[in-house]
Amino acid sequence: MKNFLVFFKKEMYESVKTHRLLIMGAVFLLFGMMSPLLARFTPEIIKWAMASDPSLAGMDLSAMITVPTAFDSWAQFYGNTGMMGLIVLVVVFSGMISTELSRGTLTIMLSKGLSRKTVVAAKLTAAIFIWTICYMLSAITAWGYTVYIFDESVANLFLALFSIWLFGVLLLALTMLAATLWNNAFVCILAVGLVVVVMNLVGMIPAIGKYNPIMLASTSFLLLTTDLTPTGLYPAIAISTIAIFTCSFLALVFFNKNKKRGRKWLIVIAITAVVALAVTIFIGEEAIRKIRLNRYIISEKVTVGAGTEWELYGLLTLPRNAEGLVPGVVLVHGSGPGDMDSTIFDNKPFRDIAEHLSANGIAVIRYNKRTLTHGMKMTGEVAHGFTVWHETIEDALLAAAILKNDPRIDSDRIYIAGHSLGGMLAPRIHVMGGSADEDGLFAGLILLAGSPQFLPDISKMQNYAFIESMEEGIEKQEMLATMEAWDDTYAAYLSLSEEEAKNTLVPGWGGISAYYLLDLYTHPAAMYIEMITSPFLVMQPDDDIQVLTDVDFLMYQELLAGRSNVTFRLYPGLNHLFMPSTGRGMTELMDEYKIKAHVAPQVLDDIAAWINSGNHSLAVPSMNP
């Protein structure tokens, strides 16, 4: 330790004596000052350039120039310190070993008994210390100027700044490793540059992207816009930390050994690391889940609508080693072209539900939505007559038929579980699939964050919630003014004849015609609910901001009031996906869905218990009004 401290002090003294610390400090200070100033004055420079260009005379180009914000300041910081600064860092420290060897000073010290490991450890520590000082100087300067000029803040700033610093430490560890293998500063720079290029190329592979350390210097910028959540960066931080310690350890080892042999070992280690990472990403994570699940469930491929022009790929999961016939569930999607797992970013709520239910004695069928598989075919003439029958209902009935005809499944205990739009349509699907001597097709209905409202009314409510969450300004006032005509606009759509409605497209609804809305309006969920005597399980996340507890859930309670075979469940702290909520508003909704999570265990347990109970009740009291 004493030798380490002595050599560390010697490194710091030399960095001052050779003006390395002064030069780096000045460069990074300049980067910190330039970032907010460039953000502030770039629009003015553009205006001046446009005004001096005769070819643009008389043209109003003000819309092309945005008002700079604190975000723009930090964007400049990423470009200056986060990119150019890292290049300066590698260039400055690339000769940390070769320079002393060429001067002979290091050889003398080593010949007098100074440990090679001490040299490497002290030099790397000094380099990290200098990098930290210069980077903090740059970041604090940028922060001070940004606050003074823009008087506003951005999200996740500390983590975004930490990410660049950590990537800088990784580059220093790589530089030290290269320096111990090649006594040439230029070769050292090339080696580190090659590693960075490889990381960039590998980062294009989606499965590897979130583990790639390059995210710390590039994608971490999205933390400031909340397009990237902190949890989305944690895998890259973990891999980078492991890589830093690995490179540091190898540098300590290889500086003591034969360099040629060290290079060979480095290649072997690199290949092993790549293979291990590939196994972990492509095989390991999924394999562990499947191995665990295969103890309890069987998965079989099915085709919903086999033999028709709308065939859909699906999956039937069944409990392994079940005794006797088992109940079954059809999972019905919400809005939009969803896959069979109802995937949204990294979240797969339908997979969570299917696997849990099947592990608890219940068969489940799920399938890709028709608008996902056949979206291109459902345009043109098809789109004009397109309704929820084509989008959802027909395929749900075909999926139910697969369960009904499976000899392992009890045909009298088939349930429908619809999420969001699927929950809205579940009563209609149930009634349409029934025969004359029964009220519907299914033994019971599970409504997951559904709504009995007319779909445009839900959209109107969501739009107002989004507008309310906006900052005061002209844009908000313009959107509020547009919403004032909402009721009249949709009343006009509903007054059209069927033929007129089929030939009238509704703006903002993905190319559907007014006939789609007319069909929903003339087939309200409430009408079908009144026809049904079968059991209901109505489940509502209390932090849902797409369908609301005090509106949609309350309407279900009123429609189903007084029935003994209805169970209501309210789940505090969960969002529309029945996953943990961050409690933020409509504008941050997509950011919340980007956070990888799973359907809450209590929700899964309640569904399984309600189906398996036989009398469709749960152990704890229900929320019947």
Residue-wise pLDDT tens digits, 550-601: 999 999 999 999 999 999 999 999 999 999 988 776 666 777 888 888 999 9
Clarify whether residues 229 and 370 are in a common domain: no
Q: Which segment of 43-47, 207-211, 365-369 scores lowest on mean pLDDT?
A: 43-47
Residue 7 CA: distances (Å) to CA of 121, 155, 174: 9, 41, 21
Q: Do 232 and 302 fall within a single domain?
A: no
Q: Report the mean per-residue pLDDT for the chain.
A: 83
Give dist(CA 625, CA 623) in Å, integer: 6
Q: Establish if 623 belongs to a structural domain.
A: no
For 223-245, write each residue's pLDDT tens digit: 776 666 777 788 889 989 998 99
Residue 475 confidence (pLDDT): 80
pLDDT confidence band for 66 (50 / 70 / 90): low
Residue 58 has what pLDDT?
47
With a cut of 60, say whether residue 281 has pLDDT above it.
no
Average pLDDT over residues 116-122: 77
pLDDT confidence bin for 207, thresholds 50/70/90: low
Do 67 and 129 have their domain in common? yes
In a domain, 620, yes or no: no
* pLDDT for 324: 92
More confident residue, 208 or 161: 161
Supply the angle between the helices 185-202 and 85-93 in degrees, to the nearest 10. Answer: 140
> How confident is residue 69, by pLDDT bands cut at 50, 70 and 90?
confident
Selected residue with higher pLDDT from 206 and 173: 173
Residue 284 has pLDDT above 70, yes or no: no
pLDDT at 326: 97
Backbone angles phi, psi at 563, to 5 degrees: -90, 135
Rounded average pLDDT over 87-104: 74
Q: How confident is the model at residue 62 (pLDDT cuts 50, 70, 90)?
A: very low
Q: Give the torsion sign (CA, 180, 181, 187, 192).
A: negative
Average pLDDT for residues 70-76, to the nearest whole number?
Answer: 81
- Position 362 pLDDT exceeds 80: yes
Which phi and psi (to 5°) does residue 536 adopt? -125, 140
Whether residue 502 lies inside any domain: the answer is: no
Give the model confidence (pLDDT) of 504-552 as tens digits.
Answer: 988 888 778 999 999 999 999 999 999 999 999 999 999 999 999 999 9
> Do 75 and 207 sit in the same domain of this protein?
yes
Which tops the pLDDT comparison, 65 or 155?
A: 155
Is the same domain home to 69 and 145? yes
pLDDT-derived band at 280 (thresholds 50, 70, 90) equals low
The answer to whether position 518 is within a domain reads no
Would you state the pLDDT for residue 624? 38
Q: What is the pLDDT of residue 38?
A: 83
pLDDT at 614 over 50: yes
Q: How many domains does the chain have?
A: 2
Element (H, E) at 363: strand 363-367
Question: Final residue of a domain: which of 222, 239, 256?
Answer: 256
Is the pLDDT at 201 greater than 70? The verdict is yes
Assign 579 to helix, strand or coil.
coil
Residue 107: inside a domain, yes or no? yes
- Annotate 53-69 with b (16+ C-beta within 10 A) or e (fewer): eeeeeeeeeeeeeeebe
Is the per-residue pLDDT at 271 higher than 80?
no
Query: Above 50 in pLDDT, residue 75?
Result: yes
- 80 shares a domain with 202: yes
Place of tokens 């059991």: 535
Residue 584: inside a domain:
yes
Q: Which of 256, 285, 308 is the last residue of a domain?
A: 256
Q: Are residues 307 and 234 in the same domain?
A: no
- CA 225 from chain centre, in angstroms, equals 14
**Confidence label for 61 from pLDDT (cuts 50, 70 and 90):** very low
- 417 pLDDT exceeds 90? yes
Confidence at residue 383, expressed as pLDDT on a 0 to 100 scale: 67
Give the β-pairing of 312-319 and 363-367. Answer: antiparallel
Do 162 and 302 lie in one domain? The reply is no
Q: Which of 197-206, 433-442, 559-568 has the highest mean pLDDT?
A: 559-568
> Worst-scoring range by mean pLDDT, 15-19, 368-372, 577-581?
15-19
Considering only CA atoms, which of 8, 17, 18, 12 is closest in space to residue 119?
8
Query: pLDDT-derived band of residue 60, with 50, 70 and 90 as boundaries?
Result: very low
How many angstroms separate the CA atoms of 429 and 400, rounded?
Answer: 10
Mean pLDDT of 375-380: 78
Q: What is the pLDDT of residue 356?
A: 94
Tokens 């944690």 correspond to 234
Q: How confident is the model at residue 364 (pLDDT cuts 50, 70, 90)?
A: very high
What mean pLDDT do residues 90-98 have? 78
Please state, for a pLDDT cut of 90, what percent of the chain lies above it. Answer: 40
Same domain? 250 vs 356: no
Residue 176: domain span: 2-256
Residue 148 has a pLDDT of 85
Q: How confident is the model at residue 625 (pLDDT cuts 50, 70, 90)?
A: very low
Question: CA torsion, points 524, 529, 532, 536, in degrees to nearest 10?
Answer: 140
- Report the CATH number that the domain containing residue 571 is assigned in CATH: 3.40.50.1820
Is the whole-model pTM more than 0.75? Answer: no
- Pick the last residue of a domain from 256, 275, 308: 256
- Select from 410, 334, 368 the least CA-distant residue to 611: 410
* Average pLDDT over every residue of 313-330: 94
Which band of pLDDT confidence, cut at 50, 70 and 90, is reported for residue 446?
very high
Tell me which residues are annotated as active site.
Answer: 420, 544, 576
What pLDDT is stored for residue 348 in this prediction? 94
Task: Please report the pLDDT score of residue 253 as a whole number.
Answer: 77
Same domain, residue pair 331 and 437? yes
Question: Does residue 388 sit within a domain?
Answer: yes
Q: Read off the pLDDT of each residue in 616-621 and give the average, rounded to a whole number.
A: 59
Q: Is residue 501 part of a domain?
A: no
pLDDT level of residue 254 (50, 70, 90 thresholds): confident
246 and 382 in a common domain: no
544 shares its domain with 434 = yes
**How far is 225 from 72, CA to CA, in rounded Å?**
11
